[in-house]
Amino acid sequence: MTLDEYNQAVKKILAEQQAIAQSTAQLAMSGQANPTSPQFTEIMTKQWGLMQQMAKLNTDLMMGIMAPKR
């Protein structure tokens, strides 16, 4: 993975997190942002997956697992 690919992956994750934030806000306004709501649980599961992806990307970056720019 090049640094450009890393940056693109991070931008994609951040865009997905923004969408999750909007969905969570909508659920909160309707009183459904709680652990008993299947929609809320699904959103939080997606968020957890994105956090894990970001952690892996950052770990790879810190460990120097990046290819030179092509």
Note the pLDDT of residue 1: 78
pLDDT for position 12 = 97
Of 4, 2, 6, 1, nearest to 54 by C-alpha is 6
Q: Model confidence over 41-52: pLDDT tens digits?
A: 999 999 999 999
Which residue positions in the chain have pLDDT lower than 50?
none
CA atoms within 13 A on the CB side of 57: 20
Where does residue 48 fall: left (phi above 0), alpha (psi -120 to 50 degrees), or beta otherwise?
Answer: alpha
pLDDT at 70: 61
Q: Quick check: pTM over 0.85?
A: no
